[in-house]
């Protein structure tokens, strides 16, 4: 992975950690996700007029990925109601890099070097080490978390391949977030408690701005998937778990497994060797 791709994906991971931390602390997470969906649409709409339409070959990837993104977003809202941020987030993200590495190797013939595979394994083990809690792993939340990881793997493979065969990765991302943001926004709007209508201006602006930030981060990821192997991009993106773990320890006073943080950092260093 080239240095500039490495740095930009780390920036995207930081943004990813910020909006997930905000979502966890939200009182009404479904409404918060709907506000982000509004931000996705507002950010993406101007680009669809400026950039070329996605190619015919990429539309099937785009539509199936939209479904996976919407389902994953709703899963994330539910998970944050059940467990600590330092547990819920890694459970979703931890299994994705290995699933993506294996899938891209089988389906797309993407081979990695021995050092790259070890770096992915270190990051993955570190993520699971951070999230490990016996009571969680003995319960239904484990299978719930693995299903979330599978959804991440599905939309990452679809987005990576869809962006690669499209003329513009950013055109692909713009249409993806219009299609994904629209149902989430209307789901939030249709809540019987009319939570969106009762929002203050500050809450509205914060949610929309974080949605726009998450869009920028994902545009970086989609572009990176066209520049580097998907397994490496995924593992590097999931270092957002490291950032969320540190945030949880410092600001939310949640318990964090620091050896897991060491493993993730070791994987990052190895990836750059």
Residue 170 has pLDDT above 80, yes or no: yes
**Domain layout of the chain by residue ranges:** 3-272
- Provide mean pLDDT across the span 29-43: 89
Cα torsion at 197, 77, 206, 27 (round to 10°)?
A: 70
Q: Is the pTM of this model over 0.75?
A: yes
Provide the b/e sequence for 63-86 (b: ≥16 CB within 10 Å). Answer: eebbbbbbebbbbbbebbeebbbb
Under 8 Å CB-to-CB from 100, ≥6 apart: which residues? Answer: 152, 153, 156, 157, 230, 231, 234
Residue 63 has pLDDT above 70, yes or no: yes
- Provide mean pLDDT across the span 254-266: 79
Under 8 Å CB-to-CB from 133, ≥6 apart: which residues? Answer: 87
pLDDT band at residue 212 under the 50/70/90 scheme: very high
Note the pLDDT of residue 112: 85
DSSP 8-state code for residue 57: G
Phi first, then psi, for residue 158 (nearest 5°) are -60, -45
CB atoms within 10 A of CB 112: 17
3-state secondary structure of 271: helix
Q: What is the distance between the alpha carbons of residues 208 and 41, in angstroms, rounded to a whole number?
A: 10
């Amino acid at each position: 992975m080239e240095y500039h791709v490495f740095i930009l994906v780390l920036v995207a991971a930081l943004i990813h950690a910020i909006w997930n931390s905000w979502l966890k602390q939200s009182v009404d997470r479904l409404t918060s996700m709907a506000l982000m969906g509004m931000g996705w649409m507002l950010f993406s709409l101007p680009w669809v007029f400026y950039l070329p339409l996605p190619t015919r070959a990429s539309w099937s990837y785009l539509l199936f990925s939209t479904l996976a993104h919407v389902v994953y977003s709703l899963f994330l809202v539910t998970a944050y109601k059940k467990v600590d941020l330092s547990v819920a987030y890694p459970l979703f993200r931890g299994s994705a890099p290995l699933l993506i590495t294996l899938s891209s190797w089988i389906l797309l013939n993407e081979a990695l070097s021995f050092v790259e595979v070890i770096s992915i394994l270190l990051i993955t083990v570190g993520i699971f080490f951070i999230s490990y809690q016996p009571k969680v792993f003995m319960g239904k939340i484990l299978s719930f978390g693995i299903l979330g990881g599978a959804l991440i793997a599905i939309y990452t493979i679809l987005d990576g391949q869809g962006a690669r065969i499209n003329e513009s990765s950013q055109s692909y991302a713009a249409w993806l977030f219009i299609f994904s943001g629209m149902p989430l926004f209307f789901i939030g709007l249709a809540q019987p408690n009319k939570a969106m209508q009762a929002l203050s201006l500050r809450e509205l602006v914060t949610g929309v701005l974080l949605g726009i930030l998450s869009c920028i981060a994902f545009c970086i990821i989609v572009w990176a998937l066209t520049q580097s192997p998907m397994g490496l991009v995924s593992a590097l993106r999931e270092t957002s778990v490291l950032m969320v773990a540190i945030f949880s320890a410092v600001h939310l006073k949640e318990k964090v497994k620091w050896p897991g943080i060491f493993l993730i950092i070791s994987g990052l260093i190895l990836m750059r060797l």
